[in-house]
Amino acid sequence: MTPILKTLKEKDTTCKPVWFMRQAGRYLPEFREIRKTNQNFVDLCINPNLVEKITLQPIQRFKIDAAIIFSDILMIPYALGQKVTFQKDQGPIISNFDEKKFFGTSEEEFINKLNPVYEAIKKTRKSLLLSKSLIGFAGAPWTLIYYMFNIKNKGSFFIKNHSDIILRVIEKLNVLINIHLRKQKEAGADIVQIFDSWAGLLKNEELNKYCILPNKKIISYCKRNNIPNICFPKGLKDKYKEFVEQVLPDGISIDHDIEPEWALNNLKETCIQGGMDPRILIEQEEKKVLHTVDKYLEVFHNCPYIFNLGHGILPRTNPELIKKITERVKERK
């Protein structure tokens, strides 16, 4: 059993495994070299050979305990007929939601469209040491809807006045996300993470039906199918407690707004992951960064804890600092 699985499933407190969200990405010069000749991000995500190569880059650099497959949460809208493009400094741009196309896409069509992702996982698993975990992932329904309906530009008024279609879309997304996670597990991923990156936007009355209940259904599915899991409902603040108590994930990834002491006292019966602000890595000197690493390791000393950040590694991060953070975590075991 890998260190992360031991911590996640057996709630082992003796090892403190480490990996990083967005550990395969723009801060690595070897990744930037690949991107120079592969400008279309979606095409890159469905190229199994390059996905394998990119996924393994941080494993070859750092003594981390897991690889996370190089992909994107928006591969699900892509598989459901929406055009997805990524523009520098603008983020993702998605074509208008087509209700007919969305509800008309069969499960078979969905799987076939994402088959290159599963092929990439198979290839990566063969190349990865058995002592390392391979993490698959998906966006949670609400976060996918945020992009699919362009809620960034439509705001809370749209959410309030379109609850019927949102709930219908969530129902289908729940089914397809479960399929996507299962197919990743079958291909060789031994853990999955569910990203609800925009959960913090939801008001109290919306939180239960758009975030907590859909995540609960996904985690119930994972448990029935023996899929170790981590949830990341970013931005929930003290609602993290309610989320954990209702959803019951194997692991909960905390963002940098959550004080580690609060997490220790309120997020019981689960493995805690992450928390450290990724901005610290580009804003503070090395000594202060490592001091913050020590703080998280000390607070969670007697708790099942996976070291990570409170979000993904930022592009301006120095890879050498990631190496030193990893070494610091390993030293504290």
Q: What is the mean pLDDT of residues 134-152?
A: 96
Instruction: Give the residue extent of every domain in the chain.
Output: 3-331
Please answer whether residues 61 and 323 qualify as being in contact, where contact means their C-beta atoms are separated by less than 8 angstroms: yes
The Cα–Cα gap between 63 and 129 comes to 12
In this predicted model, what pLDDT tens digit does every residue of 119-132 receive, in sequence order? 999 999 999 999 99
Report in angstroms the alpha-carbon separations of 280 from 35, 188, 276, 322: 26, 34, 8, 12
The Cα–Cα gap between 264 and 167 comes to 33
Q: Are strands 229-232 and 191-195 parallel, antiparallel or unpaired?
A: parallel
Please answer whether residues 132 and 66 qualify as being in contact, where contact means their C-beta atoms are separated by less than 8 angstroms: yes
Q: What is the mean pLDDT of residues 254-277?
A: 97
In this predicted model, what pLDDT tens digit does every residue of 39-74 receive, in sequence order? 999 999 999 999 999 999 999 999 999 999 999 999
How many other C-beta atoms are found inside a 10 Å radius of the C-beta of residue 268?
11
Report in angstroms the alpha-carbon separations of 254 from 72, 158, 238, 329: 20, 28, 11, 18
In this predicted model, what pLDDT tens digit does every residue of 164-183 receive, in sequence order? 999 999 999 999 999 999 99
pLDDT over 70 percentage in the chain: 99
pTM: 0.97
What pLDDT, on a 0 to 100 scale, did the predictor assign at position 333?
62
Please provide the average confidence, as pLDDT, over all residues in the chain: 96
| DSSP single-letter state for residue 10 | S
Q: Kindly tell me if the per-residue pLDDT of 86 is higher than 90.
A: no
What pLDDT, on a 0 to 100 scale, did the predictor assign at position 154?
83
Q: Kindly tell me if the per-residue pLDDT of 157 is higher than 80.
A: no
In this predicted model, what pLDDT tens digit does every residue of 190-231 receive, in sequence order? 999 999 999 999 988 899 999 999 999 999 999 999 999 999
The Cα–Cα gap between 128 and 104 comes to 38
What pLDDT, on a 0 to 100 scale, did the predictor assign at position 134?
98
Q: Which CATH number, 3.40.50.10860, 3.20.20.210, 3.30.465.10, 3.40.50.1010, labels domain 3-331? A: 3.20.20.210
